[in-house]
Amino acid sequence: MGVTRRVFLAQGGMATMTLAMRQAISQAAPAIHESKERTQLNARSLALFVDPLPLPEIIQPSGHRPSPDNPTVRLPYYRVPMRQFETKIHRDLKPTRLWGYGATSPGPTFETRSGQGLLVEWANDLPSSHLLPIDHSIHGAEADKPDVRAVVHLHGAKAPPDSDGYPENWFVPGKSAVCYYPNRQDAAMLWYHDHALGINRLNVFAGLVGAFFVRDEFEDSLNLPRGEYEIPLVIYDRLFDLEGQLNYPVSGDAKSPWVPEVFGDAILINGKLFPYLEVQPRKYRFRVLNGANGRSFHLTLNNAQSPPPQAFHQIGTDQGLLSAPVALQRLSLAPAERADLIVDFSSSAGSNVNLKNDNLDVMQFRVAAKGPRDESALPQTLRPVPKILESSAVKTRMLSLVEIDDLVQRPVKMLLNNTHWSMPVTENPVLDSVEIWNLINTTDDAHPIHLHLVKFQILDRRAFNIAAYWMHNEITYKGPAMPPEPGEAGWKDTVRADPGMVTRIIVRFEGFTGRYVWHCHVLEHEDNEMMRPFDVVAR
Ligand code: C2O
Ligand code: CU
Ligand code: CU
């Protein structure tokens, strides 16, 4: 039986360890999962910077097929098989069994242009048994469902509903699905990943992720670093056993192995542990994606010769360019968020710059002493981000984020608006209308909330009294409304809803009518009820 955390708050609130606390401990210390302690690899015991950073290959179409919009137009057609394979994630580890798109994880990168649609046939060529422990007590993953199921979502895409990877539209080994991505959207880094109901966290942890770039003329005109000077950095954490195999933690209850969060001590970049990259003393553009199940990253660049963290610039968010670059010394990214960065290595010629997460090394840039002239630019202004006016909103929704605990305060599930996945749709915005969504976070943890189909803007975050909210169902604010951080003040598709805060976003529901989903992007939460369908309805 679940009880909501409000009961404990009403009684004065015994302190539990928050997600951020557990996350901090897990990176530094090995094995926080007692039962696995003896077989768990301590990733921090491995040699640093012995493997070069891999760059996923750029995928090529295998042919052309008629466009669903207009059969006289032929679109590039790609076929991507999902496979199980083995790969070395570190020089000193045995090969790791993974799942991936193609035979790498991250899978191949898509390079596409705005307005140029394409078709992808995603084929499930996975084996018939799962790599990781399924919890059959979770909705959508019951024992009568096949263990191996997959469906692909292109995160950040404005795609028609039947190509959006609806979590119930999974397919089994031997089957495939063709998706149409019209790409009628601005240049941005999107990413594709699995979205199968009830096992999404396991499929992604097994490796089903990849990057997808949309380009456009506006971006081309800015003369940003490109080609070999533009590099995707897909970052996520994992746990491994002493054999170098994925070690997804379990609760200890064999009937419900689900755990509320997973934090690994092994932080991989483009699929390697502690890689290095040789760079020129010039500007680079890094497209950073937090692809972790639950971990937030706090990244800094550190040159051993000049201790304070090096400054860099953020030029874009989830959904494209900011209006102007933002100077940063530390980048925070919640799961599913992306950042577009310009890093200038010219002042570090001949030395090493380490990328750290929370002060622990995760990657090294080895800067050459001399290099060719840098012709690229860091423009002072980028792309206008016209504000969506609050006065244009036709509806304001109050949407709570809730954690349900058992009697000893262990989370058993998370809910949006106190509703389960299978309950009737409650969010039904009208096509082309603007709405304000108030994300009322009643829990102790931050939840990165993602809406499919749309891009949105963050209005503000404001602390409120949680106990009073539970008692009177009323919001009493405790402080001033805080504007988004400079690096969030652009187009977003995922927003950090901080604990004890109301986070307000403003959204125009454009593109398509039909059924989509919104959810927390901590995949353990999403899989256990923190996801809801929404309908975009015709005017
Ligand atoms: Cu990144 Cu619903 O997904
Ligand atoms: Cu998405
Ligand atoms: Cu969450």
Q: What pLDDT digit, counting tens, does each position of 431-477 carry?
A: 999 999 999 999 999 999 999 999 999 999 999 999 999 999 899 99
Provide DSSP, 303-359. Answer: ETTEEEEEPEEEEEETTEEEEEEEEES-EEE-TT-EEEEEEE-GGGTTSEEEEEETT
Structural tokens at position 307:
């201790």
- How far is ligand 3, taken at its centre, from the CA of residue 401, in Å? 8
Contact assessment for residue 4 and residue 405, using Cβ atoms and an 8 Å cutoff:
yes
- How far is ligand 3, taken at its centre, from the CA of residue 249, in Å? 18
**Where do the H-state alpha helices sit in 368-475?**
466-472
Q: For ligand 1, what atom is nearest to the CA of residue 518?
A: 2
- How far is ligand 3, taken at its centre, from the CA of residue 337, in Å? 14
Structural tokens at position 384:
């206008």
Structural tokens at position 448:
């990165």
Q: For ligand 1, what atom is nearest to the CA of residue 336?
A: 1
* Measured distance CA(272)–CA(331) in Å, rounded: 21
* Measured distance CA(99)–CA(107) in Å, rounded: 10
Q: Which ligand is nearest to the CA of 416?
A: 3
| Residue of 428, 430, 426, 394 lying closest to 538 (CA atoms) | 430
Q: For ligand 1, what atom is nearest to the CA of residue 167?
A: 2
Classify strands 96-101 and 74-87 as parallel, antiparallel or unpaired: antiparallel
CATH 3.40.50.2300 fits 7-14+386-536, yes or no: no
- Quick check: helix, strand or coil at residue 467? helix
Instruction: Give, as residue ranges, everything with CB less than 5 Å from ion ligand 2.
Output: 155, 452
517 — alpha (psi -120 to 50), left (phi > 0) or beta?
A: beta
Q: Residue 25 has what pLDDT?
A: 65
- How far is ligand 2, taken at its centre, from the CA of residue 450, in Å? 6
Q: How is residue 164 annotated by DSSP? A: S
* Measured distance CA(493)–CA(458) in Å, rounded: 10
Q: For ligand 1, what atom is nearest to the CA of residue 452?
A: 2
Contact assessment for residue 352 and residue 304, using Cβ atoms and an 8 Å cutoff:
yes
Place of tokens 């966290």: 201
Q: Whose CA is nearest to atom 1 of ligand 1?
A: 155
Q: Residue 408 has what pLDDT?
A: 83
**Using alpha carbons only, how large is the chain's radius of gyration in Å?**
22
CA 283, chain centre distance (Å): 26
350 — alpha (psi -120 to 50), left (phi > 0) or beta?
A: left
Give residue ranges with CB within 6 A of ligand 1. 153, 155, 193, 195, 336, 450, 452, 517, 519, 521
Structural tokens at position 250:
């379990």
Q: Whose CA is nearest to atom 3 of ligand 1?
A: 155
Q: For ligand 1, what atom is nearest to the CA of residue 531?
A: 2
Structural tokens at position 109:
């990168």
Peptide bond into 424 cis (omega under 30): no
* Measured distance CA(81)–CA(104) in Å, rounded: 11
Place of tokens 């891999």: 54
- How far is ligand 3, taken at its centre, from the CA of residue 448, in Å? 6
Classify strands 338-344 and 312-317 as parallel, antiparallel or unpaired: antiparallel
Listed in order, strand segments (DSSP E) in 407-463 are 411-416, 434-441, 447-451, 456-463
- How far is ligand 1, taken at its centre, from the CA of residue 284, in Å? 28
- Structurally, at CATH architecture level, domain 28-216 sits in Sandwich (2.60)
Partners of 66 in beta bridges: 74
Structural tokens at position 400:
């709570």
Q: For ligand 1, what atom is nearest to the CA of residue 519?
A: 2
Q: For ligand 1, what atom is nearest to the CA of residue 165?
A: 2
Q: Which ligand is nearest to the CA of 200?
A: 1
Residue limits of CATH 2.60.40.420 in the chain: 7-14+386-536, 28-216, 227-367
What residues have CB less than 8 Å from 370, skipping those under 6 apart?
Answer: 281, 349
- Quick check: helix, strand or coil at residue 181? strand
Q: Residue 308 has what pLDDT?
A: 80
* Measured distance CA(419)–CA(426) in Å, rounded: 9
**Amino acid at site 143:** A
Q: Which ligand is nearest to the CA of 526?
A: 3
Classify strands 275-279 and 51-52 as parallel, antiparallel or unpaired: parallel
- How far is ligand 2, taken at its centre, from the CA of residue 447, in Å? 15
* Measured distance CA(72)–CA(49) in Å, rounded: 51
* Measured distance CA(495)–CA(333) in Å, rounded: 10
Low-confidence ranges of the chain (pLDDT < 70): 1-22, 24-38
Provide DSSP, 239-274. Answer: -BBTTS-B-----S-TT----S----SEEEETTEES
- How far is ligand 3, taken at its centre, from the CA of residue 464, in Å? 19
C-alpha distances (whole Å) from 530 to each of 197, 300, 519, 520 are 11, 31, 6, 6
Instruction: Give, as residue ranges, everything with CB less than 5 Å from ion ligand 3.
Output: 447, 520, 522, 525
- How far is ligand 3, taken at its centre, from the CA of residue 525, in Å? 5
If 0-12 CB within 10 Å is exposed, 13-18 middle and 19+ buried, where does residue 50 land? Answer: middle
Q: Which ligand is nearest to the CA of 453?
A: 2
Edge-to-edge strands, sheet with 494-497 = 494-497, 447-451, 514-520, 531-536
CATH superfamily of 227-367: Cupredoxins -  blue copper proteins (2.60.40.420)
C-alpha distances (whole Å) from 35 to each of 38, 92, 261, 266, 463 are 8, 25, 16, 19, 38
